[in-house]
A and B are shown apart, each in its own frame.
Chain A
Amino acid sequence: MDDSVARFRWLRVPALLTVVGLLVAACGNSAPTTSNLASDQSLRVNNGVEPNSLDPGQEQYDYEGAIGASISEALLKIKPDLSDAAPATASSYNVSSDGLTWTFHIRSNAKWSDGKPVTGADFVYAWQRILDPRLAAPYADPFFDGSIKGADNYANLDPVKDAAKIPDFLNGLGLSAPDASTFVVKLQAPAPYFKWIASLWMSAPVRKDVVEQYGSDKWATSPTSLITNGQFKVSEMVSKDHITLVPNTNYWGGAPTLTKIVNYEISDDNQAYAKYLNGELDIVNVPLANTDLVKNDPKLSKEIKFVPQLTLFWMDFNTRKAPFNNPKARLAFSKAVDRDSLAKNVGKGRWSAADFFIPKGMNGYRPDLGKSQEFDAAAAKTMLTQAVGDPSKITIDFLIRNSTANKQIGEFLADQLQTNLGVKVNQVVIDSKTVTTRLRKHDYQLYVGGWGADYPDDQDWFDIWMTGSGNVFGGYSNPDYDALVKKADIEPDAKKRQDYYDQAQKILIDDAGGGFLYQRNYMMLAKPYVQGLTTTAQDFSTVGDWFWGKVSIAQH
């Protein structure tokens, strides 16, 4: 053997290993790898306002649901396309043939954040609590007291004077848990939409022992006592600054990819926008005035997320006072507004013009029904003159809430009505609370009202225009409409149901119960490294906030 070669013999193994190693490394980069995930899986979003409460029984606003829906889980949960409510804490449910009894089967591995199992009794306790007049739960009416058997007496019980009657009332409700993994609800009347009520985040279970230990007012105010059953739980609450969520290790559905979600409470849109630009936020709302700037920016325009919202806004007419007691007059006003200009110029394309009632994204979306309210200035003026006489003699008190957004819309509308109809419009801009007081007292003529879906079922929408409803102040009343809606609410056959609702909507539009205007959309920016964002038309404060469990952060 040649001595020169033998000398290097010891290098054979290491050399081989090195070559193999290099080959593996080279191939490794082109092979599909699971780790393009960033090492820091935290998401930072802006909730805008500090939640008043994270107690499911006390929540009502979007900025509370944005967190509440992640930390508390109800029996069911909406699907991203809103076509149905899928099982969540309940693995399945059945409805009796008469539609009056709903039985939910709770997962055996559904656990609270402290490890204890979720039981039917937790739901009974939570729902009874909501219907306890002493709690003054904002969502008790109409969702719970309008559906659950025995709850229709809720409105008549005074929390102080009738205190002695309350325990019997609560025990007499149609709520029971025959065993730990079953929850049974008896209804007042068949309600096909009840599955949606069972998916409301406020209907999530609540732990009786926790509430009793810490106090009904206090248990939800600190992370240590806020025991919840959702995919995430609250780990930190810094008042007026942020709330941090981390995964609930006891959640039945497994761990999410995100390890932290920070919900900031930045109320000024421009500030939040600035923070997004310098990398302190991952998803942000585009301030209305900056819309064109963002659309024209080469980089930012690629990060836009445009998501319709199940909202609709209209001109609310006080039908008790002239000229709005005359349907033709109302219709004339509805035809006098250039909605396209409103949506395109004032809303900068973020709004979608709507001369119909049910927004896009709902099953009952029927844009073709809106023919009678289409914009036609000349026809509007003629119609008004024929209905009530000389428009220049009419003065309208237009109530406007004094936020910048409302003022902008109000000024535009007032100008449209004055220019196109020749009427005189008094813009009364006052603070939000006084506006509502005057609305309740029917001390107004015109107002821009709106509705946002609590859940994606027509029933939630159509009920508000029924005679005597407390959510529309104009006092609109049409017995044909009422009859159709009542039939539709309980109709089990889906096709017939939709048909009734469509007929009702046509009556509403032709009658101009409201002068329908526009639907809102979310326009937000999301960093490209935020993956798995699942947006729905029912998102709360940030697009995708119903399904944070599907989100992951790519390396960046």
Chain B
Amino acid sequence: MAVAQGAPRRGALVSFKIPRGRAASLSLYVARRILWLIPVLFFVITITFVLMHFAPGSPWDREGKQLSAAVIRNLNAKYGLNEPFLAQYVRYLVNVAHFDFGLSFQYEDQPVSSLILKSWPPTAVIGLLAFVMIVIFGIGIGVVAALRQNTWVDYAVVGFSTIGASTPAFVLGIILIIIFSVTLYRITGGNFSLPTGGFALDQHLILPVVTLATLPIAFIARLTRASTLEVLRQDYIRTAWAKGLRERLVVTKHVLKNSLIPVVSALGPTFAVLITGSVIVESVFAIPGIGRAFVVAVGSRDYPMILATTILFSVVVALANLVVDLLYTVIDPRVRLG
């Protein structure tokens, strides 16, 4: 995931030029960005809908005993699958506008929106915890490494971030399971180990959160370190040292504010990483969240579920980017919204 510094982020527009006063331009900017969501979503929905529809296989094909032709005909009627493609497409768009995502094909008669709501909490809990960890540890060790450049602390951090950024999440997750569940279990004679999976608000959270957060932490740490090093080289920091100010003061008052600017802008794509990461982590740790629901839905041709989840993910990513961009303008007064 090599995002070159300064490159535009997912979902962001390339350039806007808004000439007026700051507050007005801010709200205009927000409005435009939200409006921009609509064509993006439209595109996403259309592509997914078309793909799903022309995919081979129907949702009623089962493993084992087959449904008879009569039953299948009845099911198709029930879900409106007999109608021509365009009719289904238009109907779907209209429903989505009313936040009605239809009934799931796999869990018959359950509305997709309620299924998503049920799967939402584990993903949100793990994602938020991971995000907090990313912010605290990612930035923290990046700054420390920069301040202690070329010491063992620095090497340790750089080493960790290189390895962390290159290890696939599922490999890391599996290795952690082997160490902390299987081996720990054997060593302690069955008395202590971390769970191999499942979701609960206790030690079940440790391994999944660590796995999910590692790659973004590695990346943010490197970015923070590089950016902090840049700032540390600046003249005004040298002046601060020369003036004899204490390190902690210098860091918090001058360095951080400036070095965090590119880091904040990188937090946006971090959301996209958290989402794709959640798919993997939830599969490795068998967590009943949205990521796994998506994988299962893809496998069982649960069209409504796939469509709804895809839309949800795109919206989350786009909104996250919007928030980050706004934060960016707040932090860096030099930035004009463009």
Residues of A in contact with B (beta carbons under 8 Å apart): 50, 52-53, 58, 60, 133-138, 140-142, 145, 154-160, 217-218, 221, 239-241, 265-268, 270-271, 274-275, 277-278, 401, 431-438, 440, 450, 452, 470-471
Contacts and interface: CB of A to CB of B under 8 A. Distances in A.
Interface in B55-102: 56-59, 61-71, 73-75, 77-78
Given A133-B74, A433-B57, A434-B56, A452 B64 contact: yes
A237 to B, nearest CB: 11
A401 B107 contact: no
B255 to A, nearest CB: 46
Interface in B150-208: 181, 185, 190, 193, 195-198
Given A267-B286, A274-B195, A434-B61, 6 more contacts: A158-B73, A240-B119, A240-B288, A274-B181, A274-B193, A470-B66
Nearest to A440: B61
B69 A268 contact: no
Nearest to A161: B77
B198 A159 contact: no
A437 B68 CA distance: 13
A431 B57 contact: yes
Max chain A C-beta neighbours (<10 A), residue from B68, B181, B195: B68
B286 A271 contact: yes
Contacts of B198: 266, 271, 275
Interface residues of B, number: 40
A438 B181 CA distance: 41
Interface string B320-333: 00000000000000
Contact of A136 (B56, B71, B197, B299): B71
A159 B263 CA distance: 59
Contact of A53 (B66, B73, B109, B197): B109
A137 B71 contact: yes
B286 A266 contact: yes
Contact of B108 (A52, A240, A450): A52
A134 B106 CA distance: 18
B65 A159 contact: no
B105 to A, nearest CB: 10
A239 B40 CA distance: 33
Nearest to A220: B109
Contacts of A452: 64
B107 A240 contact: no
B32 interface: no
Given A134-B74, A136-B71, A136-B75, A436 B63 contact: yes
Contact of B118 (A157, A218, A240, A278): A240
B300 interface: yes
Contact of B106 (A52, A265, A431, A435): A52
Contact of A268 (B58, B62, B197, B301): B197
A158 B77 contact: yes
Interface of B: 56-59, 61-71, 73-75, 77-78, 106-110, 118-119, 181, 185, 190, 193, 195-198, 286, 288, 299-301
Given A136-B78, A240-B119, A433 B58 contact: yes
A53 B107 CA distance: 8
A470 B119 CA distance: 36
A191 B65 CA distance: 22
A50 B65 CA distance: 19
Given A52-B106, A136-B74, A155-B70, A278 B286 contact: no
Q: Identify the 3 closest CB pairs spanning chains A and B, nearest first.
A: A436-B61, A136-B74, A433-B57
Majority secondary structure, A binding face: loop
A158 B72 CA distance: 11
B230 to A, nearest CB: 46
A297 B194 CA distance: 22
B70 A270 contact: no
A221 B118 CA distance: 14
27 contacts: A52-B106, A52-B107, A58-B109, A60-B65, A133-B74, A136-B71, A136-B78, A140-B70, A141-B71, A155-B70, A156-B70, A157-B70, A159-B77, A217-B109, A221-B109, A240-B118, A241-B288, A265-B288, A266-B198, A267-B286, A268-B196, A268-B286, A274-B196, A432-B300, A437-B57, A440-B61, A470-B68
Contacts of B66: 436, 440, 470-471
A239 B299 contact: no
A265 B106 CA distance: 16
Nearest to A157: B70
Contacts of B65: 60, 471
Given A274-B195, A431-B57, A433-B61, A160 B68 contact: no
Contacts of A157: 70
A136 to B, nearest CB: 4
A42 B286 CA distance: 25
Contacts of B73: 158-159
Contact of B57 (A239, A266, A277, A434): A434
Contacts of B119: 240
Contact of B299 (A60, A278, A432, A471): A432
Given A271-B197, A274-B196, A239 B118 contact: yes
Nearest to A267: B286
Max chain A C-beta neighbours (<10 A), residue from B74, B106, B190: B74
Given A160-B77, A433-B300, A155 B69 contact: yes
A437 B64 CA distance: 13
A338 B333 CA distance: 75
B280 to A, nearest CB: 15
A360 B65 CA distance: 21
Nearest to A264: B198
Contacts of B195: 271, 274-275
B301 to A, nearest CB: 5
A117 B288 CA distance: 39
Max chain B C-beta neighbours (<10 A), residue from A58, A159, A240, A275: A240
Nearest to B70: A155
B71 A140 contact: yes
A499 B228 CA distance: 87
B299 A431 contact: yes
Contacts of B69: 155, 470
Contact of B70 (A141, A221, A432, A471): A141
A136 B198 CA distance: 34
A58 B108 contact: yes
B58 to A, nearest CB: 7
Contacts of B110: 221
B301 A155 contact: no
Contacts of A438: 56
A540 B195 CA distance: 27
Contacts of B108: 52-53, 58
A437 B61 contact: yes
Contact of B196 (A271, A401, A440): A271
B178 to A, nearest CB: 11
Contacts of A140: 68, 70-71
Nearest to B103: A217
